[in-house]
Structures are given as C-alpha cells and as structure tokens.
C-alpha cells in the first residue's frame, strides 16, 4: 500500500533551534519524495524534492531507503518558517502521476 506517515501533528520550537519534521513512507517501487509547504492563507507550494538534492530556504531532506524515511531538517529555525508542512510521494502506473500526501505537521516557531 502507498502511504506517507507524519507522526507529529504539531511541532513547536524556538527561533534559532534546529528543526526536524519526520516522514516515513510505504511504497513498492521507487517513489519520488517531496515536501510541500503551506504558509498561512497561501496555496500549497513545493518546497523541495529528493532528486534535486538542493537546499531551499535552509531546509534539506535526505531519502533513506533503508528506513523508508524522508525527514525534513533545518539547522536554525526562523519565525517565517511557521507553516503547515506536508510530506508527499509521487507514484503511479498511469501516465499522470498522482501525489499521496501525509497528514501534515504544523510547525510553529516561537520568538
């Protein structure tokens, strides 16, 4: 079964502290993994994807196939990082790939 699990509904950290948002997935095959972010009153937007191996807004995520994890990390949290974060995977047998989302983690950065 294809599934994305985000165990934390809410994560609250102080500004400047490290952040780690957990994500585990279940997929038979080689999925594409993503992190989407939704800031207050804004649309869902792609934050990063595992094949890019890039750092966006200081965030990185490493795909660990052994642990089937794709945790999102940032060494020093900023107040503007407060948002809803969704881990997601893309995988489909059809020509158009659907995205399967986790339930999301609300990140709150305290000043």
Partner 1 sequence: EPEVTQTPSHQVTQMGQEVILRCVPISNHLYFYWYRQILGQKVEFLVSFYNNEISEKSEIFDDQFSVERPDGSNFTLKIRSTKLEDSAMYFCASSDSEEQETQYFGPGTRLLVL
Which residues in this chain contact partner 1 in the complex, by CB under 8 A? 32, 34, 36, 42-46, 49, 86, 90, 92-104
Specify the residue for token string 């945790």. Answer: 71
d(CA 95, CA 107) in angstroms, rounded, equals: 34
Cβ atoms of residues 23 and 5 within 8 Å: yes
Q: Nearest distance from residue 3's CB to partner 1, in Å?
A: 10
CB of 110 to partner 1, least distance (A): 24
77 or 89: whose CB is closer to partner 1? 89
Closest CA to 106 of 78, 86, 88, 84: 84
In the block, residue with structure tokens 């792609």: 46
Judged by beta carbon, residue 19 or residue 105, the one nearer partner 1 is: 105
| Residue nearer to partner 1 on the CB measure, 15 or 56 | 56
């Amino acid at each position: 079964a294809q599934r994305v699990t985000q165990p934390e509904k809410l994560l609250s950290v102080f500004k400047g502290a490290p952040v780690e948002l957990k994500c585990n997935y279940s997929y038979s095959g080689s999925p594409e993994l993503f992190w989407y972010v939704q800031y207050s009153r804004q649309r869902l937007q792609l934050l990063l994807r595992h094949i890019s191996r890039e750092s966006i807004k200081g965030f990185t995520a490493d795909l660990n196939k052994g642990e089937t994890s794709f945790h999102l990390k940032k060494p020093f949290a900023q107040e503007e990082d407060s948002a809803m974060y969704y881990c997601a995977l893309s995988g489909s047998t059809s020509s158009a790939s659907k995205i399967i989302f986790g339930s999301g983690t609300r990140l709150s950065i305290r000043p």
